[in-house]
Amino acid sequence: MNTIISLMKRNYKILLAVAFLSVTLFAFKLKSASEADPDKDKLLLELLTFVLEKGHYNPATIDDNFSKGIYKDYIQALDPSKRFFLQSDIDEFSKYELELDDELINKDLTFFNLTYGRLMQRMKESQSLYKEVLKTPFDYKVDESFNTDYEKAPYAKTDVELKERWRKQLKLTTLSSLTDRLKIQENKGKFSKEETGIPLNPLEEGENASAETTKKETPVADSKPKSFEELEKETRESTSKSLDEYFGFMKDLDRNDWFSVYINSITARFDPHTNYFAPEEKERFDVSISGTLEGIGARLQKKNEYTEISELISGGPAWRGKELEAGDLVMKVAQGNAEPVDVVGMRLDDVVKKIKGPKGTEVRLTIKKVDGTIKIISIIRDIVEIEETYAKSSIVNKNGLKYGVIYLPKFYINFENKDGRDAGKDIALEVERLKQAKVDGIVLDVRDDGGGSLSTVVDIAGLFIEQGPIVQIKSAGRKKEVLYDRDKKIEWDGPLVIMVNSFSASASEILAAAIQDYKRGVIIGSKQTYGKGTVQNVIDLNQFVRSNELGDLGALKTTTQKFYRINGGSTQLEGVSSDVVMPDRYSYLKMGERDVENAMPWDKIDPADYNVWNNNGNFTKAILHSRERIAANPQFKLIEENAKWIDTRSEENEYSLNIDKFRIAQNAIEDKAKKFKPIFDYKNDLKFTSLPYEMEQMNKDNILKEKRNRWHESLAKDIYVEEALNVLDDLQTKVNLKNSSLPVSKLKKEKLAKTY
């Protein structure tokens, strides 16, 4: 959930000061690479401390309380389910609870070295432990239970106690899978959580689930019934395989990865959105915010010792070449005519580094095909666009009118290429395409949009107003800055609805707040958005070192500013309240900024001078009608009831390990869940289609066609989109701009009324 401002364009005064002061601290030639690990770690601590103290909006005081916070977050991050460390380990670690502030100042790595070494030891011991536990069948007739509230659980005091904890947790995992298999066999059909809308495996979802338990398989009914013993054995084998994969993934993490965890426990004490990016993470972040990369256009995943092609990115060089396929295994990688390097058993990140590369260069992959044949495939790397990053639109006919729906997954931008795609330009293009299709209203969907570039928000909001302020920004100890839309052109002056939910954050909230303050459109969605009202800059740490022989130091994303609505209020913690609140299944769960430790406080500043849109004659009526429809709609009532039930279920952590009691409890949950099945079966009877230009692309690209068809199918099941379209119906007026004989410029002026 990131709102990023271009490093050189915004906080340049702060950053220049940091850079200037850093000359005396870091402008020296570093030691030789033979001392790389400790030197690099100490340098990172020095850089981070300095940059945070000088550049953070509200730097934390580095004292004993700061130390306690680091200690708590870090230990929890290392062992969240308390299955590795013993109480004796914690007793040893706790001696440093009030010393970490001093260690940070002195660049002392004693605590990290101790915990890292002990974690590696305990994880190695655990591997033999789970294998031993899963060797023999569980006795599911024993009357015992297991509590999954790990935060409140004590650490095991002895190895015997730790093994017992593993036994119970593994028994719960296998018991859940076993009951599913038994039920499928009894019903001779498929069974999945999608039918009920809840995870019946208590370890399948949520923060308490460990990585290896989230990969629960969905068993399929066999034509020949299996005995209880056979099914029980299958569940243990499946669980053992999942754990093997989990520990294989953990084995791929090196000391630098764990040091990043430690560093982020430090940065989190400043605020939740200040993070350290190791080099690989920084690269992934750049891809995420820009939606582009240079490579072959394939997604990779680890499969035992192999690297598997999991998906080809539509339009990428691998997709265009038609030789590489999902399921292929990468055996060797060669750069052009160079000698191929064997990558079997190599870390996934290292394989990715070898396959990615600059546009125009060649990579040769030795591939083991699904049929077992070996093939060498040559691919010329290129710019790859990640389609899922970008805005997309659809049209729908309703009540004799045509509407457009635009979905914006994030406020993307390419800071390195001003001519590259960005959300502002793409939304403008989608609006223009919808205008050419002669739509009568637009829904802009920013649900689950965690933010991105602040500059693109200004561009997008400016499409719907004549001109004026969009957002106010404040830096520590400085006067506020107001970002304006200065283009008098209005791309779309018709009915507008912005869809949000509790995961719409940061840049999404700025957009929704601006549209709401101008009364330009109706905000519809969750009670409030996420509540992130801070701005982060990404600072390349390598710039502070004149001669670096230790390798890439990564980057720091730090909070440098807070942003405010044009009415003066902050979106921090409070988010944006919807004009029309629609019940959602997660209404009562604590998942917003206000529920995050160390979040910055809410405040307000003076309002900006802006003019309210005065061409929404049906604005108040549309909101009132929508609220009335929602209150009377049985589907929304069911969603609200489901939300309350999910909230009560989230508090239940105790599970019986007796199969009869467990099945009774699960059956009761299933029976209750059946009541909510209509939520997932709902259809709005609307047909969504792509615009003509995209229809042509889909005829040539089956992957894109499949993705769009899935999206359109989901829209046709989306009651929230349906209600947004109902609001567009209510916003319709008898006289539209397109039918008016008045000059456009005159109409623009008449729409605005001075309020500040």
Of 146, 113, 140, which is closest to residue 41 (Cα–Cα)?
A: 113
* Residue 197 pLDDT level (bands cut at 50, 70, 90): very low
User: Which two tokens mark 713?
Assistant: 């199918």
198-237 residue pLDDT tens: 344 444 333 333 333 333 444 444 567 889 999 999 999 9
612-664 residue pLDDT tens: 998 888 999 999 999 999 999 999 999 999 999 999 988 899 999 999 999 99
Residue 548 confidence (pLDDT): 66
* Residue 190 pLDDT level (bands cut at 50, 70, 90): very low
Q: How many whole angstroms separate alpha carbon 627 and alpha carbon 612? A: 23
Q: In the predicted model, what is the mean pLDDT of residues 364-370?
A: 92
Residue 133 confidence (pLDDT): 95
Supply φ then ψ for residue 640, to 5 degrees: -65, -45
Torsion of CA 43, 45, 51, 54, to 10 degrees: -120
Range with lowest mean pLDDT among 26-35, 126-135, 727-736? 26-35
Residue 191 confidence (pLDDT): 41
pLDDT of 756 above 90: no
pLDDT of 128 above 80: yes
Residue percentage of the chain with pLDDT more than 70:
87
* Residue 726 pLDDT level (bands cut at 50, 70, 90): very high
Residue 268 confidence (pLDDT): 95
* Residue 132 pLDDT level (bands cut at 50, 70, 90): very high
DSSP track, 477-535: TS--EEEEE-----S--S-EEEEE-TT--THHHHHHHHHHHTT-SEEEESSB-----EE
* Residue 264 pLDDT level (bands cut at 50, 70, 90): very high
pLDDT of 700 above 80: yes
152-170 residue pLDDT tens: 999 999 999 999 999 999 9
Q: In the predicted model, what is the mean pLDDT of residues 703-728?
A: 95
Higher pLDDT, 377 or 203: 377
Residue percentage of the chain with pLDDT more than 90:
73
Q: Contact at 8 Å (CB) between 364 and 340?
A: yes
Paired strand residues for 497: 443, 522
With the C-alpha atoms ordered 229, 235, 239, 241, is the resulting torsion angle positive or negative? Answer: positive
pLDDT of 196 above 50: no
Using DSSP, state whether 667 is helix, strand or coil. helix
Please name the residue that has the structure tokens 């850093």.
22
Q: What percent helix, strand, coil does the chain show, rounded to 5?
A: 45, 20, 40
Q: Beta-carbon neighbour count of residue 23 at 10 Å?
A: 11
Distances in whole angstroms, Cα of residue 632 to Cα of each of 107, 279, 311, 628: 62, 53, 44, 6
Of 77, 246, 99, which is closest to residue 151 (Cα–Cα)?
A: 77
Q: Contact at 8 Å (CB) between 229 and 183?
A: no
pLDDT of 571 above 80: yes
Cβ-proximal residues to 498 (8 Å cutoff; 6+ apart), any chain = 443, 444, 446, 511, 512, 515, 516, 521, 522, 523, 524
Q: What is the enclosing helix (H) or strand (E) of 103?
A: helix 100-106
Residue at 480: amino acid letter: K
Q: In the predicted model, what is the mean pLDDT of residues 583-599?
A: 91
DSSP one-letter code for 578: -
Higher pLDDT, 465 or 7: 465
User: Which two tokens mark 319?
Assistant: 């997709």
Higher pLDDT, 23 or 518: 518
pLDDT of 751 above 70: no
Residue at 629: amino acid letter: R
* Residue 554 pLDDT level (bands cut at 50, 70, 90): very high
* Residue 2 pLDDT level (bands cut at 50, 70, 90): very low
Torsion of CA 370, 375, 376, 380, to 10 degrees: -50
Cβ burial, residue 46 (10 Å; 0-12/13-18/19+): middle
272-287 residue pLDDT tens: 999 999 998 998 898 8
Of 232, 197, 214, which is closest to residue 669 (Cα–Cα)?
A: 197
DSSP track, 37-94: HHHHHHHHHHHHHHHHHHHSSSPPP-SHHHHHHHHHHHHHHH-TTS-S-BHHHHHHHG
Mean pLDDT of the chain, nearest integer: 87
Residue 672 confidence (pLDDT): 92
Residue 201 confidence (pLDDT): 45
Residue 296 confidence (pLDDT): 95
Q: HSE (CB half, 13 Å, CA atoms) of 295?
A: 21
pLDDT of 243 above 60: yes
* Residue 101 pLDDT level (bands cut at 50, 70, 90): very high
Residue 169 confidence (pLDDT): 96
Residue 37 confidence (pLDDT): 65
Q: Which domains does the chain have, with CATH numbers?
A: 58-270 (no CATH), 292-385 (2.30.42.10), 388-739 (3.90.226.10)
Q: In the predicted model, what is the mean pLDDT of residues 535-543?
A: 93
